[in-house]
Structure 1
């Protein structure tokens, strides 16, 4: 049996595409009635940067323990929680990328108007930071991966003749 490999980039891309599609449809429906695209606050950007930074700090500590250094504050439970937080951060970043891209797509047909073009830039900046959050989550997930021990090398390989080992 192959060990669980964690969150894959393809899952994040599909999540971002699904979110972008659904959000674009919803925003088109809302804006067709005369409403404007919801305004964007900068607090979301601050939160994403803070979360990404906290993920990297926690992940770096787990990586040091994994590589054999002693860090007293890192327990196995904390390492597992760091891994789960990294995966959640990756999916959160992916969903936010989809949301911000959908907003950009709704504003894009009017990009020749200066006021609309000025509204696109903040969404673009937020989308880039959300992608960085997803990237930080994937990096920390990699840092949390336990390397196989030398004596475990053959246990994870499937049998070649189709019969189970005993």
Structure 2
């Protein structure tokens, strides 16, 4: 039996593409009714940066324990929670990439207007930050992965 490998990059790409399509359709529908695309808030970008940094710090601590350095604060439960948070961060980042890219796509026809161009840049920066959050989640997921033991063969069963 093959162990669970966690969140895959293809899953993140599919989530981002699905969110882009759905959000683009929703935003186009709202725009046709006279509503404008909401401005991206700086709070969202700061929150994503904070979450990504916290993920990396927590994942680094788990990685050190996994590699043999003792740290009584890192319990198996905390390591498992770090892994789940990393996977949630990766999925959240990929969905947010789709949301921000959809906003850019809706605003692109008006890119010649200076105020809209500034909004496109803001959404683009948010998309890059969301992408970095997804990457941080995938990196921490790999740091939380246990290495195979010496007494196991490549199928994961004991050699006895």
TM-score, length-scaled by structure 2: 0.96
SS state at 1:90 partner: helix
Do the aligned partners of residues 22 and 72 (structure 1) sit closer, same or farther apart at CA in structure 2, a change above 3 Å counting?
same
Using the TM superposition, name which of 110-119 and 131-140 deviates more.
Answer: 110-119
| Deviating 4+ runs (over 2 angstroms) | 154-157
CA RMSD across the alignment = 0.9
Residue 156 of structure 1 and its aligned partner are, at CA, apart by 3.0
Shift of 1:40: 1.3
Q: Deviations over 1:51-107 (max 9, x none)?
A: 000000000000000000011110000000000000000000001000000000000
1:3 alignment partner, SS class? coil
Matches within 5 A, 1:43-82: 43-82=43-82
**Which residue is equivalent to 2:149?**
149
2:22 alignment counterpart: 22
Aligned to 1:101: 101
Q: In the alignment, which residue of structure 1 is the partner of 2:13?
A: 13
**Which one has a bigger Cα radius of gyration?**
1
Gaps of 5+ in 1: 158-166
Distance 1:146 1:77 in 2: 14
Per-residue CA distance 1:97-156 (angstroms, 9 max, x = gap): 000000000000110111111110110000000000000000000000000101112443
Per the alignment, residue 32 of structure 2 pairs with 32
